[in-house]
Amino acid sequence: MGNDIDVHLGKRLRRRRRLLGLTQQQLAGSVGVRFQQIQKYECGANRISAARLWALSEALEVPVGYFYDGLSEAARRAAPAETGADGGEMFARKETLDLIRAYYQLSERPRRRLLDLAKSLHGGVGETDAA
């Protein structure tokens, strides 16, 4: 299970870094390592020490617990996570990250309206497909 945890932490690290629009080089510079080390963390090849995880959480502006979110669920679905069936790959796509960035640049009211629109479109598509 140790390696599964390292992989999970690495995926969360990559997701947050990309969401913020940071390169591996930029993140590495902010925590005092080389970009190759960030690469190794992201693929789960190297374990992240507690001190380094703290520094990464500071640099990425998230609590340390962020990296562990969904870990118990990921452990239960270890096989689907490898195929992307858990939706993790969806968050790694550039278009998804672009959409999330654009969404959070909106003020609260337009965000709520956009979310309502997306939900209504999703509901409408499902009804059309069922007919």
Quote the pLDDT of residue 130. Answer: 42
- Ordered by start, the domain boundaries in the chain are 2-85, 93-131
Secondary structure (DSSP) of 114-130:
HHHHHHHHHHHHHHHHH
Which are the contacts of 63, defined by CB distance < 8 A and separation ≥ 6? 57
Quote the pLDDT of residue 107. Answer: 87
Q: Which residues of the chain have pLDDT under 70?
A: 1-2, 74-89, 124-131
Quote the pLDDT of residue 79. Answer: 41
Quote the pLDDT of residue 1. Answer: 46
For the entire predicted model, the pTM comes to 0.59
Quote the pLDDT of residue 74. Answer: 61
For the domain spanning 2-85, the CATH number is 1.10.260.40
| Helices of type H across the chain | 2-19, 24-31, 35-43, 50-59, 71-76, 78-83, 88-92, 94-105, 108-130
